[in-house]
Amino acid sequence: MTLSITLTVNGTPHHLALDDMRVTLLDLLRDRLGLTGTKKGCDRGQCGACTVLVDGRRLNACLSLAVQQDGADIVTIEGLAPEGSLHPVQEAFLEHDAFQCGYCTPGQIMSAAGLIAEGADGTDMERIREGMSGNICRCGAYRGIAEAVAEAARKARTEADA
Amino acid sequence: MKSFEYLRPETLDEALAALSDPDAASLGGGTNLLDLMKLGVAGPERIVDLARLPGLDRIETLPDGMTRVGALVRNSDLAADPGFAAAFPMVAEALLSGASAQLRNAATVGGNLMQATRCAYFQDPFAACNRRAAGSGCDALGGANRGHAVLGWSPACIAVHPSDFCVPLAALGAEAEIAGPSGTRLVPLAEFHLLPGEEPHRATALEPGEIVLALRLPAAAAGFAGNARYLKLRERTSYAFAVVSAAAALRIEDGTVAAARLALGGVAARPWRCSEAEEALAGKPATAESFAAAASIALSNAAPSGANGYKIVLAERLLARTMAAAAAGTPAEMPALPGSLMDDTGEAAHA
């Protein structure tokens, strides 16, 4: 069977014909649209490396069929900030050296952006760690990651109050 | 993964017609089904995506005071709903103690009820598993089974149901609203998941072609909101399935337990409601002694199914501790680590 779907990815609408329903959102982003910033780690929803924002909410792209997301608005690491600039979470990751090998980093950053958008976790370190528990870092850069997320959350809150 | 036909019905009638095919599977968020398909454990010929069915993404109060939660409500949305979380705090705590934020954003209420066991032998297509392939045997018996059942198991299957959400629901007398070719019916959540007996391949009370439409919580369940906790022991503080978990909700009047609602998770193929312990606790003083006695009753019929006898003691102690935590009062704010003993509030929780 063939189905046509529409996805807005990083602000650009895509009309895509799917001739195999098995393709996941993750594989479609990487193989069809060439957006390889979203990583394939475990491919089972256990590591968080494939985290993207779907209609503003963080999801594991590996555990969604592309066809399920027909009509959705998707943001990947490539589209988090306008070309040539960094998102506050990206800036904070640099400042706090929140990575070692970098493989989990796009997922960590997208998850942090989603967490901050959810708003409920504030800047409490324990809540940030809990809110980021779906993203595994095998290098163990958790300390820097949590500090970076806290700083980006503080900045987002200050800007919201200003 | 086996290829499949994909259907996205717009009405319930269309969905039920599409599901009349015995090789069809219904799809909610996909976090469990898609994983099982990748593993080769599930291989439906046809997937019926329920996402566009109208009216199932709502939390509403029915005229009789019941709370009705549509099957398509996301786990994260339900836990964050202020009215729902205030009325049923241990349900919200259980939801937030499960999976990760990403998974909770995708997973639905209906899908949580329908999720399969995480038994490693069920998830391995090359292992013998009566639940996956009727009559093939059970490699978990005599295998790596420290996480397996201590209540309600049979020699045919010793798997446990992995849900956190379903544990407080079973305690509170929730019901599943089921739609099928012959109409709509209600099934108590504590009986929705079947004990294995000789037919472990039948996991739920759903008949072929039926789907979960919604969840209903009785109005009286909100009467326990002031003293309700869900605690979960796991091998790491977040993002892990329960080794054992417990839900306890109490109505306390003048230091006496007027009524109790208790259930255990991680111990059986269904969320395990502890009715006898509830009855024994009613009318007793809200003290550590009463809680320990009730917890002992709850586990009195437990038996190891392998190298998991420790779970009996663990579940008994956790249930008593959860009652004590509930007696100390529902926290004003959701704990930073939901369901965790690392985040106990108040001294009474250690009674």
CATH among 3.40.50.800, 1.10.3720.10, 1.10.150.120, 3.40.50.300 for A88-161: 1.10.150.120
Look at residue B150 and tell me if it is in a domain.
no
Look at residue B196 and tell me if it is in a domain.
no
Contact residues on chain A for B338, CB-CB shorter than 8 A: 130
d(CA B252, CA B273): 20
pLDDT at B343: 64
Contact residues on chain A for B38, CB-CB shorter than 8 A: 43-44
Contact residues on chain A for B3, CB-CB shorter than 8 A: 20-22
Contact residues on chain A for B345, CB-CB shorter than 8 A: none
pLDDT mean across residues, chain B: 96
Percent of chain B beyond pLDDT 90?
Answer: 97
Contact A60/B35, CB-based, under 8 Å? no
- Domain residue ranges of chain A, discontinuous segments joined by +: 3-78, 88-161
Cα angle B77-A36-B37, degrees, rounded to a multiple of 5: 55
Which chain A residue's Cα is nearest to B51?
Answer: A68
d(CA B119, CA B96): 22
CB proximity A3 to B under 8 Å = yes
d(CA B337, CA B232): 11
Tokens of B304: 């190891």
Contact residues on chain A for B6, CB-CB shorter than 8 A: 1, 3, 21, 65, 67
CB proximity A25 to B under 8 Å = no
Please report which residue ranges of A28-103 form alpha helices under DSSP H. Answer: 88-95
CA distance B92 to chain A (A): 14
d(CA B98, CA B95): 5
d(CA A54, CA B256): 49
Within 8 A by CB and 6+ apart from B63, the residues are none
How large is the average pLDDT for residues B142-158?
98
Cα angle B36-B163-B277, degrees, rounded to a multiple of 5: 150
Residues 87-116 of B with CB under 8 A from A: 99-103, 105-106
Contact B101/A129, CB-based, under 8 Å? no
Is B82 exposed, middle or buried (CB count within 10 Å of its CB: 0-12, 13-18, 19+)? exposed
Phi, psi of A73 (to 5 degrees): -105, 120
Contact residues on chain A for B238, CB-CB shorter than 8 A: 129-130, 133
CB proximity A133 to B under 8 Å = yes
CB atoms closer than 10 angstroms to residue B22: 10
Region for B19 from its dihedrals, namely left if φ exceeds 0, alpha if ψ lies in -120 to 50, beta otherwise: alpha
pLDDT at B347: 41
Give the three-class secondary structure for B196: coil
Q: Name the domain boundary from B17, B33, B49.
A: B49
Spatial CA neighbour of A106 closest among A32, A150, A29, A48: A48
Is A88 exposed, middle or buried (CB count within 10 Å of its CB: 0-12, 13-18, 19+)? buried
pLDDT in tens, B40-80: 999 999 999 999 999 999 999 999 999 999 999 999 999 99
Instruction: Find which of A130, A132, A136, A137 to mutate to test the B interface (most B CBs within 10 Å of its CB).
Output: A130
Instruction: Find which of A68, A129, A132 to mutate to test the B interface (most B CBs within 10 Å of its CB).
Output: A68
Residues 264-323 of B with CB under 8 A from A: none
Look at residue B310 and tell me if it is in a domain.
yes
Spatial CA neighbour of A59 closest among A68, B111, B27, B137: A68
C-beta of residue B315 within 8 angstroms of C-beta of residue B303: no
Q: Which residue segment(s) compose the domain that B268 sits in?
A: 227-333
How large is the average pLDDT for residues A74-93?
97
Same fold, A3-78 and A88-161: no
Spatial CA neighbour of A25 closest among A12, A42, A43: A43
pLDDT at B346: 43
Considering only CB atoms, B100 lies closest to which of A48, A57, A65, namely: A48
CB proximity A115 to B under 8 Å = yes
Contact B103/A45, CB-based, under 8 Å? yes
CB atoms closer than 10 angstroms to residue A158: 9
Tokens of A135: 């993203």
Considering only CB atoms, B6 lies closest to which of A67, A133, A135, namely: A67
The total number of structural domains in chain B stands at 2
Read off the pLDDT band of A158 (50, 70, 90): confident
CA distance B278 to chain A (A): 32
Architecture of the domain spanning A3-78: Roll (3.10)
Residues in chain B: 351
Look at residue B287 and tell me if it is in a domain.
yes
CB proximity A162 to B under 8 Å = no
How large is the average pLDDT for residues B181-185?
96
CB proximity B336 to A under 8 Å = yes
DSSP B116: P
Residues 66-95 of A with CB under 8 A from B: 67-68, 70
Q: With 70 as the cut, is the pLDDT of residue B349 above it?
A: no
Read off the pLDDT band of B35 (50, 70, 90): very high
CB atoms closer than 10 angstroms to residue B345: 15
d(CA B210, CA B189): 16
Considering only CB atoms, B30 lies closest to which of A43, A64, A131, namely: A64
d(CA A59, CA B62): 32
pLDDT in tens, B191-223: 999 999 999 999 999 999 999 999 999 999 999
Q: With 80 as the cut, is the pLDDT of residue B314 above it?
A: yes
How large is the average pLDDT for residues A64-75?
98
Tokens of B169: 């629901």
pLDDT in tens, B247-278: 999 999 999 999 999 999 999 999 999 999 99
Tokens of B160: 């446990």
First to last CA, chain A: 53
Phi, psi of B67 (to 5 degrees): -95, 130
Contact B30/A63, CB-based, under 8 Å? yes
Least-confidence region, from A123-127, B100-104, B240-244, B306-310: A123-127
DSSP A66: G
Q: With 90 as the cut, is the pLDDT of residue B151 above it?
A: yes
Region for A102 from its dihedrals, namely left if φ exceeds 0, alpha if ψ lies in -120 to 50, beta otherwise: left
Here the CATH number for the domain that contains residue B18 is 3.30.43.10
Q: With 60 as the cut, is the pLDDT of residue B351 above it?
A: no
pLDDT at A157: 85
Look at residue B192 and tell me if it is in a domain.
no
Tokens of B303: 């038996």
